[in-house]
């Protein structure tokens, strides 16, 4: 699956607005430039045609009045010159347009002129006539317009960005408050007042649906919890009777002589079923987040106290325990959950440990590790934390201990890893960045 980077909705909207503004500015600038160029062309062409017609009319009238009059008029047009009929100049493509900078002596600066060269034909002669029009002011106006448009775009873009940040803290405030309510909601806890004041129809609809979901979830949770607790409670009574009856049979030597294995199996399975019910009930409560007394738990004294309490069991199995504990090690979770985590890991090490070497419990500032010597697993290490998945046939093994440990770690941003190295089963718990 692609790991796409996520953005806020308003950030995406702002980016889309900016892209739209850029495209709009580009298209508008192109349109204005084309319109201004077309306007300049039309206006200059109108000016050139007027001068061309006027010059031709003067030449035709002067030609009728005689050569002297014609020569006089030709001198008046400084850019008008007669072209011989056999000249190569006639092969050019007329009219000829070009823009040129012309120095203005009075203003002591260069001005941009548009120039048009045409052929004027009278009855007997051909003239080349070059006209010019000062377009410097118009060109400066066009460049100034483009410059101002860029500045306006920059101001508009900056305004949109700043406005989006201001808008995110105002317009999306109810949305963020609803998200906070969702994040802080715990199943089975009082929902309180979920009403967030807002005039945005989508946000009103969103919190209405959230409230319905909470009520429905709480109702389903209460029913399931009542069923689970009732079942766990009611099953203890027949199990207690079975255990009591089994103990009576165990005390009866005549029965035990004939049915030792059967009676012992009944007694063990009754205890197993009772423990299983309690473990499942505990796992359900952990998954539903009922243990939420989150504090910084310093593990040094708790570990020492627990090892002391199981010292006799460890000695009965001819095992030894080595402790290398750091005073700095601590975990952020409910203290009751840490005790469950510790008890299950220690119980697992005692159950499957061998006297090939000691059980080691090591803590550092950010690491908790427990290891025991033993034979390699006959199951895949990837499945060791799966519920009810065990690698032995012992009836005393519930298949829930490591699943409980994994669930506690997952719910408290802890990472647990299993490795088998140098004939040792090693479980390590680290703090994550989540």
The answer to whether residue 422 sits within a structural domain is yes
**In sequence order, which ranges of 288-334 are alpha helices (DSSP H)?**
299-309, 311-316
Tokens of 250: 């165990």
The residue from 232, 267, 285 where one domain ends is 285
pLDDT, position 358: 92
The answer to whether residue 322 sits within a structural domain is yes
pLDDT band at 246 (very low <50, low <70, confident <90, very high): confident
Residue-wise pLDDT for 46-94, tens only, equals 999 998 898 888 888 887 777 666 667 666 677 788 888 767 777 788 8
Residues 241 and 146 in one domain: no
Residues 266 and 389 in one domain: no
321-324 vs 359-363, strand pairing mode = parallel
pLDDT, position 81: 81
Residues 295 and 266 in one domain: no
* Rounded-to-integer distance, Cα 309 and Cα 335, Å: 17
The answer to whether residue 146 sits within a structural domain is yes
The answer to whether residue 340 sits within a structural domain is yes
Residues 297, 331 contacting (CB under 8 angstroms): yes
Residue-wise pLDDT for 315-349, tens only, equals 888 899 999 999 999 998 888 889 989 988 998 89
The answer to whether residue 191 sits within a structural domain is no
Residues 261 and 333 in one domain: no
Residues 280 and 298 in one domain: no
Task: Write the CA distances from 293 to 264, 289, 335, 338, 404, integer angstroms.
Answer: 41, 10, 8, 11, 18
CATH code of the domain containing 49:
3.30.450
Residues 295 and 411 in one domain: yes
pLDDT, position 394: 46
Tokens of 418: 């299993």
Domain that holds residue 270: 201-285
The residue from 285, 307, 325 where one domain ends is 285
pLDDT band at 412 (very low <50, low <70, confident <90, very high): confident
* Rounded-to-integer distance, Cα 337 and Cα 324, Å: 22
Using only the alpha carbons of the chain, give its radius of gyration. 47
Residue with tokens 């427990």: 370
Which residues touch 315 (CB under 8 Å, ≥6 apart)? none
Residues 411 and 426 in one domain: yes
Task: Write the CA distances from 12 to 7, 15, 171, 256, 323, integer angstroms.
Answer: 7, 5, 15, 78, 54
Q: Which residues pair with 363 in a beta bridge?
A: 368
The answer to whether residue 382 sits within a structural domain is yes
Tokens of 423: 């004939």
Task: Write the CA distances from 391 to 130, 369, 371, 381, integer angstroms.
Answer: 104, 22, 18, 10
**In sequence order, which ranges of 192-334 are alpha helices (DSSP H)?**
201-251, 253-287, 299-309, 311-316
Is the model's pLDDT at 422 over the cut of 70? yes
More confident residue, 220 or 68: 220
CATH code of the domain containing 360:
3.30.565.10
pLDDT, position 1: 42
* Number of domains comprising the chain: 3
Is the model's pLDDT at 434 over the cut of 60? no
Residues 66 and 105 in one domain: yes
Residues 346 and 411 in one domain: yes
The answer to whether residue 187 sits within a structural domain is no
Residues 329 and 270 in one domain: no
13 burial (CB, 10 Å; 0-12 / 13-18 / 19+) is middle
The residue from 145, 166, 187 where one domain ends is 166
Residues 17 and 39 in one domain: yes
Residues 316 and 401 in one domain: yes
390 burial (CB, 10 Å; 0-12 / 13-18 / 19+) is middle
The dihedral region occupied by 192, where left means phi > 0, alpha psi between -120 and 50, and beta the remainder, is: left
Q: φ and ψ at 87, to 5 degrees?
A: -70, 145
Q: 109, 116, 145: which is closest to 46 by C-alpha? A: 116
Tokens of 305: 């106290």
Is the model's pLDDT at 366 over the cut of 80? yes
Is the model's pLDDT at 396 over the cut of 60? no
The answer to whether residue 371 sits within a structural domain is yes
Percent of the chain with pLDDT over 70: 88
Task: Write the CA distances from 152 to 158, 214, 368, integer angstroms.
Answer: 10, 50, 61
Count other C-beta atoms under 10 Å from residue 201's C-beta: 8
pLDDT band at 369 (very low <50, low <70, confident <90, very high): very high
């Amino acid at each position: 699956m692609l790991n796409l980077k996520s953005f806020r909705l308003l950030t995406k909207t702002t980016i889309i607005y900016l892209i739209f503004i850029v495209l709009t500015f580009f298209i508008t600038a192109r349109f204005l430039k084309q319109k201004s160029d077309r306007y300049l062309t039309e206006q200059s062409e109108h000016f050139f045609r007027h001068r061309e017609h006027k010059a031709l009319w003067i030449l035709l009238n002067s030609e009728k009045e005689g050569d002297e009059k014609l020569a006089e008029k030709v001198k008046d047009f400084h850019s008008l010159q007669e072209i011989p009929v056999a000249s190569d100049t006639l092969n050019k493509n007329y009219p000829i347009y070009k823009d040129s900078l012309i120095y203005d002596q009075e203003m002591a600066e260069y001005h941009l002129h548009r120039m048009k060269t045409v052929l004027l034909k009278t009855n007997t002669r051909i003239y080349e006539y070059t006209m010019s029009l000062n377009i410097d002011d118009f060109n400066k106006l066009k460049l100034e317009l483009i410059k101002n448009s860029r500045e306006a775009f920059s101001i508009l873009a900056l305004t949109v960005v700043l406005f989006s940040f201001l808008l995110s803290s105002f317009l999306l405030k109810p949305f963020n408050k609803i998200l906070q309510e969702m994040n802080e909601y715990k199943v089975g806890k009082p929902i309180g007042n979920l009403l967030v004041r807002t005039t945005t129809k989508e946000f009103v609809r969103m919190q209405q649906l959230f409230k319905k979901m909470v009520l429905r979830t709480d109702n389903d949770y209460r029913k399931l919890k009542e069923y689970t607790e009732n079942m766990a409670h009611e099953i203890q009574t027949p199990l207690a009777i079975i255990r009591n009856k089994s103990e009576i049979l165990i005390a009866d030597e005549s029965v035990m002589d004939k049915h030792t294995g059967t009676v012992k199996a009944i007694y063990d399975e009754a205890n197993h079923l009772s423990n299983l019910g309690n473990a499942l009930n505990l796992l359900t409560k952990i998954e539903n987040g009922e243990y939420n007394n989150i504090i910084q738990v310093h593990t040094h004294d708790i570990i020492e106290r627990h090892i002391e309490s199981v010292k006799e069991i460890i000695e009965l199995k001819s095992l030894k325990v080595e402790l290398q504990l750091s005073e700095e090690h601590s975990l952020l979770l409910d203290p009751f959950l840490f005790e469950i985590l510790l008890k299950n890991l220690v119980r697992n090490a005692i159950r499957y440990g061998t006297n090939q070497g000691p059980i080691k419990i090591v803590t550092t500032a950010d690491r908790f590790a427990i290891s025991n010597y033993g034979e390699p697993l006959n199951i895949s290490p990837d499945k060791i934390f799966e519920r009810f998945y065990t690698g032995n046939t012992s009836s005393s093994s519930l298949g829930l201990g490591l699943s409980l440990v994994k669930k506690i770690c997952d719910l408290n941003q802890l990472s647990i890893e299993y490795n088998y190295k140098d004939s040792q089963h090693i479980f390590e718990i680290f703090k994550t960045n989540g």
